[in-house]
Amino acid sequence: MMNERVVLVTGAGTGMGRATVRLLAKKGFDVIAATRKAENFADVDDENIRVFELDITDPDSVKKIFEKIERLDILVNNAGYGLVCTVEDMDEAEMLAQFNVNVFGLLRVTKHAILPMRKNGGGVIINISSFLGKIGLPLLTFYNATKYAVEGITDSLRYELSDFGIRVHSVMPGFFDTQFARSNLVMNQKTFSEDSPYSSMVSRLAPQIVDQINNGNDPNDVAELIYRIIEDESFPARVTVGDKASKFIPMRKELSDEDFERRVRDYYGL
């Protein structure tokens, strides 16, 4: 029997989003899988999954999807990607695109989700952030900045929406074995050129990051955690998941800025 609760998952086509859609559908939720490419679910036949095409960078696309949604209880803001680029090499369009997806897109969807949740007398918003929302790494400055922003949005919304019974949480994954490194990392050509002044850093750091993602944790771990957050009204504001997040976030809290930076430099050979 279908669960009466309706869940919207953005970036649902692959990785953590797809794992979350499949698990919540299995649990009986009415799941709206929002993805840029509906064909990502061509192989899925589940009466609990409704597939909608959504481009979170397009306000009209966001507005239209909510015109189709009569009720919404849970929003999982999962859509995002990572720009690998130095600040010196940054192209204006690349910078704006990174924030348009990871920050402004999240805010567009959240804006429209609040009204039906208020009408229902409550709801849950889960923002998929990153452990890099608390920790900086070179070459990922723009991705870091967007995830730091997501953490700030989460903190503020917890105050703003608490009177309406809407819980807001942040999930900070480490590196997971998803399509992220294969299709959701955008490389700036100047940064990765052989004659770049940053070539030494790129050659040391980039292969490590890609390897850690491709050999990371199982995205189903994130899906299980999201389910726990939905079901537990007393769940903490934010939670880490995955080896790297569990290692670095506690260390970040314990050490001074300078000591933590030295640890990161040693770990990545910077």
pLDDT band at 168 (very low <50, low <70, confident <90, very high): very high
What's the pTM?
A: 0.93
CATH at 169 = 3.40.50.720
Tell me what the mean pLDDT of segment 96-119 comes to.
97
Tell me what the mean pLDDT of segment 1-14 comes to.
85
pLDDT of residue 239 exceeding 60: yes
Task: Report yes or no on 220 lying in a domain.
Answer: yes
Task: Report yes or no on 207 lying in a domain.
Answer: yes
pLDDT of residue 177 exceeding 60: no
Tell me what the mean pLDDT of segment 88-112 comes to.
97
Domain that holds residue 263: 6-268
Task: Report yes or no on 137 lying in a domain.
Answer: yes
Count of Cβ atoms closer than 10 Å to residue 207 Cβ: 10
Task: Report yes or no on 13 lying in a domain.
Answer: yes
How many domains are there within the chain? 1
Find how far residue 71's CA is from the centre of its chain. 23
Angle separating helix axes 199-214 and 257-268, nearest 10 degrees = 80
Give the sign of the dihedral formed by CA 89, CA 78, CA 65, CA 157: negative
pLDDT band at 179 (very low <50, low <70, confident <90, very high): low
The pLDDT tens digits of the residues spanning 180-192 come to 545 567 889 999 9
Task: Report yes or no on 138 lying in a domain.
Answer: yes
Task: Report yes or no on 19 lying in a domain.
Answer: yes
- In the chain, pLDDT over 70 holds for what percent of residues? 94
The beta strand positions in the chain, using DSSP E, are 6-9, 30-35, 49-53, 74-77, 82-84, 123-128, 166-173, 185-187, 238-241
Catalytic residues: 143
- In the chain, pLDDT over 90 holds for what percent of residues? 76
Which pLDDT does position 45 carry in this prediction?
Answer: 85
Q: How far is CA 103 from CA 96, 97, 146, 153, in A?
A: 10, 10, 6, 9
Q: What is the mean pLDDT of the chain?
A: 91
Task: Report yes or no on 1 lying in a domain.
Answer: no
What order do you get walking across the sheet with 74-77 strand by strand? Answer: 49-53, 30-35, 6-9, 74-77, 123-128, 166-173, 238-241
Which pLDDT does position 178 carry in this prediction?
Answer: 55
Q: How far is CA 215 from CA 89, 151, 175, 211, in A?
A: 29, 26, 8, 6
The pLDDT tens digits of the residues spanning 111-152 come to 999 999 999 999 999 999 999 999 999 999 999 999 999 999
Task: Report yes or no on 182 lying in a domain.
Answer: yes
